[in-house]
Amino acid sequence: MTERPSILVVDDDPHLREVVAFALTQAGFHVEQASHGRAGLEQVRRSVPALIVLDIMMPEMDGLEMCREVRRAHEIPIVFLSSRDDEVDRILGLEMGGDDYITKPFSPRELVARIKAVLRRARATASPPAPAPSPSQVLQRGHLRLDLDLWRAYWNGQEVVLTVTEFHLLAALLRAPGKAFTRDELMTRVYEDVVVSDRTIDSHVRHIRQKFASAGGEVIQTVHGLGYRLAIP
Give yes or no: residues 104 and 194 share one domain: no
Do 17 and 121 have their domain in common? yes
Using an 8 Å Cβ cutoff, are 24 and 115 in contact?
yes
Q: What range defines the domain where residue 118 resides?
A: 6-125
Looking at 125, 150, 183, the residue that finishes a domain is: 125
Residue 184 has pLDDT above 80, yes or no: yes
Q: Based on the fold, state whether residues 140 and 98 are members of the same structural domain.
A: no
Q: How confident is the model at residue 227 (pLDDT cuts 50, 70, 90)?
A: very high
The residue among 125, 142, 175 that closes a domain is: 125
Tens digits of residue pLDDT in 213-225: 999 999 999 999 8
Beta-bridged to residue 7, according to DSSP, are 31, 51
Residue 94 has pLDDT above 50, yes or no: yes
Strands 51-55 and 152-155: unpaired
Between 132 and 159, the more confident residue is 159
118 & 150 share domain = no
Q: Tell me which residue of 222, 30, 179, 212 sits closest to 189, measured CA to CA.
A: 179
Last residue of a domain, one of 99, 125, 151: 125
Residue 106 scores a pLDDT above 70: yes
Asked whether residue 193 falls in the same domain as residue 113, the answer is no
101 close to 90: Cβ distance less than 8 angstroms: yes
In a domain, 158, yes or no: yes
Q: Does residue 1 lie in a domain region?
A: no
Instruction: Tell me, yes or no, whether 70 and 103 share the same domain.
Output: yes
CATH number at residue 132: 1.10.10.10
- Please tell me the predicted confidence (pLDDT) of residue 136: 47
Give yes or no: residues 117 and 135 share one domain: no
pLDDT score for 120:
81
**pTM metric for this prediction:** 0.57
pLDDT in tens, 42-68: 999 999 999 999 998 888 888 888 988
DSSP SS3 for 201: helix
Burial track 52-67 (b if 16+ CB lie within 10 A, e otherwise): bbbbbbbeebbbbbbb
Residue 92 in any domain: the answer is yes
Give the pLDDT confidence score for residue 96 in this predicted structure: 65
| Domains held by the chain: number | 2
